[in-house]
Chains A and B, each alone.
Chain A
Amino acid sequence: MSTDLQVTGSVRRARRARQRRTLAVCAGLLAAALAAFLLSLATGDKSIPLPDLLATLGGGGSRGDEFIVLELRLPRAVTAVGVGAAFGLAGAIFQSLLRNPLASPDVIGISAGASAAAVISIVLLGLSGPAVSLTALAGALTAAVLIYALAWRRGVTGYRLVLIGVGVASALTSTVSYVMTRSETMVAQQAFVWLAGSLNGRSWDQARPLLLALALLIPLTALAARALPALQLGDDTARGLGARTEPSRVALLLCAVALAGVATAAAGPVGFVAFVSAPIARGLLRRQDAALLPAALTGAVVVLLSDYIGQHLLGPHQIPVGVVTSVVGAPYLLWLLATANRVGRGG
């Protein structure tokens, strides 16, 4: 029996070590997000020193600072956090559920659905602002339903879903290209900025609905994610363990699509955050599970930092955040691929 106790002890130790690592990573990411958040609130045409900033946030700042921070910068930073977290979470769910690192909403056609709807509404219908966001959300959901329906044949396999998603994405992307050639330069440019994914001029009008949606979706995702560890073992094993595979999978996919959809509606299809957040989070955790919470935090950090870089560090033009996320995120992923021997396993 003593060996048994020993093993129990080592199992417990291993689990504790893992929990500690998760905790440390999450705390680190949270700290990084907070720092980036404060930095983006403090920086701009008028720099606001940290004590003033904190005072303003606490309700005791000067009137000018209050306007700048609370009305101009805070909604943008809050949107960045929300968008990053939503994309990170959505990507992590897709990738672990479909067991394919390529299966992020940008690759399997959900962002393309949002983009096509948004570009059509900008260019052909002349819409702007919240109306574009709504059509983008509708586009994302429609694309997701379409892809799932087309991939359904007595169940859905990850492989089929990804392939059909890529097909649908490419049809939608070419629609976008076509619409772009059919429009005035000015309008096309506006659409192009939207397509790149941008946080420019985000106000509470965009931030508030995003926060509301996330307040609903994140708890739902946490509930749905309970079956994820079982689902990752393949359908047979998962069912053997008593998971209701099809309802659980649909619930998770719905959550992920809704998350990607509201994020896209708020900021456009910010490239690559969904794709890269989970791999980065797993790299930090040094293990390969779904890593939902760390992925969400990573997404928030990536978007905050990228927006900061795009706004302040790249010369006179405001570069859309989506451009920066890809330029920053992609080399990191390449580096991960080049250094981590084991990433290439299975596939």
Chain B
Amino acid sequence: MGIRTETAAPSTRSRPLLAAGLVPAAAALVLAVAASLALGTAHIPLSSVWQALTAYDPGDTQQLIIREVRVPRTVIGVLTGVALGLAGAVMQAVARNPLADPGILGVNAGAALFVVVAINSLGLDTLSGYVWFGFAGALCAFALVYGVSSLGREGATPIKLALAGAATTAALGSITSAIILTSNNAFEQYRFWQVGALTRTEDGLLVQAAPFIAAGAACALLSGRWLNTLSLGDDTARALGQRVGAVRALAACAVVLLCGTATAIAGPIAFVGLVIPHIARAFTGPDYRWILPYSALLAPTLLLTADVVGRLIARPGELQVGIVTAVIGVPPFIALVRRRRTGAL
């Protein structure tokens, strides 16, 4: 085929247009935040919502719900959303593989395994107890995947990363299954943890988690320019004077901080990390300096919207956000994949 390979979305939009585009994206996020605060299983008038935020009266049940349930839930949504969106974009750039997301590179499976071990053998049953195990699990899994793929002559090539990630996911997932199958208690907790939800709030958890996500987000957002170079291939990146190993290490740090924390506080939420960078890319073209901020805005929007939808459609119960994100994320993702001409990021 003598056809040009890069015929994806508009690859060059002007800087002002791209910068201006961030405004509606941010506005959408603000709307999603507002919806997440205002809408829920319980009907609460907007005036109470507003009062709860500005002039809080702990005696009022409705205001209590807002302050104690919806605000933390929204904050978790924003934090995990930002984390997953950025982590997905960084992973896709580093792995040079459009399939890369925390689920595929083994990070979720690592977090899940450690959480199950914590529940099962250490008897932990509070979230703030096992959140750190989730974090450690994510770190170990990613270190394993990355370590294995870096061996050999060419280092961590995209295909090796993807293969090692899939292998690790399968292996760790199976150990998790084996533990769960032999323990009722772990099974009970795990089957609810594994769907991913924003409802697990405990005192102090957010305060503990926020700095990690902030650090990870900073690493990710700063690396945009380097990721652009890296996406041209290792050789070209080296020729352009980039220290490929250092950039990969920085990116890996960002991914572990972001994914580990997000998975630990919200459980494994599939698909946000995979689909959001593709959506961002459809608008921005292949420039990671723009893909990253767009991902950081769009991902929490998707996550909060999914969460609100989950609260509304299954009243009086709820659908966990992990389920809704997949269901509403898949159709646009498929549409995107169908629209693009050929391979390559």
Given the interface contacts A192-B181, A323-B181, does A173 sit within 8 Å of B158 by beta carbon?
A: no
Stretch of A53-61, A292-300, A336-344 with 4 or more beta carbons under 8 angstroms from chain B? A336-344
Pick the contact of A334: B148, B184, B330 (CB < 8 A): B148
Is A330's beta carbon under 8 Å from chain B?
yes
Is A304's beta carbon under 8 Å from chain B?
no
A174 to B326, CA, bound (A): 7
Closest to A332 in B: B167
Question: How many whole Å from B326's CB to the nearest CB in chain A?
Answer: 4
Which residues of B from 176 to 230 have beta carbons under 8 Å from A? Answer: 177-178, 180-182, 184, 187-188, 191-192, 194-195
Is A185's beta carbon under 8 Å from chain B?
yes
A340 to B151, CA, bound (A): 9
Question: How many whole Å from A123's CB to the nearest CB in chain B?
Answer: 12
A159 to B184, CA, bound (A): 41
Q: Does the CB pair A330–B99 fall under 8 Å? A: no
Pick the contact of B187: A163, A175, A192, A320 (CB < 8 A): A192
Residues of B within 8 A of A107 (CB): 166
Stretch of B7-15, B49-57, B77-85, B337-345 with 4 or more beta carbons under 8 angstroms from chain A? B337-345
What is the number of contacts between chain A and chain B, taking CB atoms within 8 Å? 184
Closest to A171 in B: B330
A326 to B273, CA, bound (A): 25
Closest to B97 in A: A347
Residue total for A at the interface (Cβ-Cβ under 8 A):
61
Q: Does the CB pair A170–B170 fall under 8 Å? A: no
A177 to B196, CA, bound (A): 10
Residues of A within 8 A of B154 (CB): 341, 344-345
Q: Does the CB pair A101–B1 fall under 8 Å? A: no
Closest to A168 in B: B330
Given the interface contacts A192-B181, A192-B187, does A330 sit within 8 Å of B323 by beta carbon?
A: no
Residues of B within 8 A of A346 (CB): 159
Pick the contact of A178: B177, B182, B320 (CB < 8 A): B320
Is B63's beta carbon under 8 Å from chain A?
no
Residues of A within 8 A of B67 (CB): none
Given the interface contacts A153-B338, A174-B323, does A192 sit within 8 Å of B99 by beta carbon?
A: no
Is B46's beta carbon under 8 Å from chain A?
no
Contact flags (1/0) for B308-345 with A, using CB distance below 8 Å? 00000000000110110111011001100110101100
Is A167's beta carbon under 8 Å from chain B?
yes
Residues of A within 8 A of B103 (CB): 170
Pick the contact of B343: A102, A159, A324, A344 (CB < 8 A): A159
Which residues of A from 138 to 181 have beta carbons under 8 Å from B? Answer: 150-151, 153, 157, 159-160, 162-164, 166-168, 170-171, 173-175, 177-178, 180-181
Is A261's beta carbon under 8 Å from chain B?
no
Is A333's beta carbon under 8 Å from chain B?
yes
Is A272's beta carbon under 8 Å from chain B?
yes
Residues of B within 8 A of A271 (CB): 170, 173-174
Contact flags (1/0) for A303-347 with B, using CB distance below 8 Å? 000000000001001011011111101110110011111011111
Question: How many whole Å from B179's CB to the nearest CB in chain A?
Answer: 10
Which residues of A from 181 to 200 have beta carbons under 8 Å from B? Answer: 181, 185, 188-189, 192-193, 196
Residues of B within 8 A of A323 (CB): 174-175, 177-178, 181
Which residues of B from 146 to 162 have beta carbons under 8 Å from A? Answer: 148-149, 151-154, 157-160, 162
Residues of A within 8 A of B153 (CB): 341
Q: Does the CB pair A157–B342 fall under 8 Å? A: yes
Given the interface contacts A275-B166, A326-B171, A327-B175, does A192 sit within 8 Å of B180 by beta carbon?
A: yes
Closest to A324 in B: B174
Closest to A198 in B: B181
Is A205's beta carbon under 8 Å from chain B?
no
A149 to B133, CA, bound (A): 42
Q: Does the CB pair A174–B148 fall under 8 Å? A: no
Is A236's beta carbon under 8 Å from chain B?
yes
Pick the contact of A337: B149, B188, B330 (CB < 8 A): B149
Q: Does the CB pair A102–B166 fall under 8 Å? A: yes
Residues of A within 8 A of B298 (CB): none
A314 to B192, CA, bound (A): 27
Q: Does the CB pair A173–B270 fall under 8 Å? A: yes
Instruction: Give me the interface of B with A, judged by CB distance under 8 Å.
Output: 1, 97-99, 103-104, 144, 148-149, 151-154, 157-160, 162-164, 166-168, 170-171, 173-175, 177-178, 180-182, 184, 187-188, 191-192, 194-195, 270-271, 274-275, 319-320, 322-323, 325-327, 329-330, 333-334, 337-338, 340, 342-343
Q: What are 6 pairs between A and B in contact, CB < 8 Å? A: A101-B159, A107-B166, A177-B195, A177-B322, A341-B154, A344-B159
Q: Contacts A151-B338, A171-B327 known; list 5 others, CB within 8 Å.
A: A160-B340, A178-B320, A323-B174, A337-B148, A339-B151
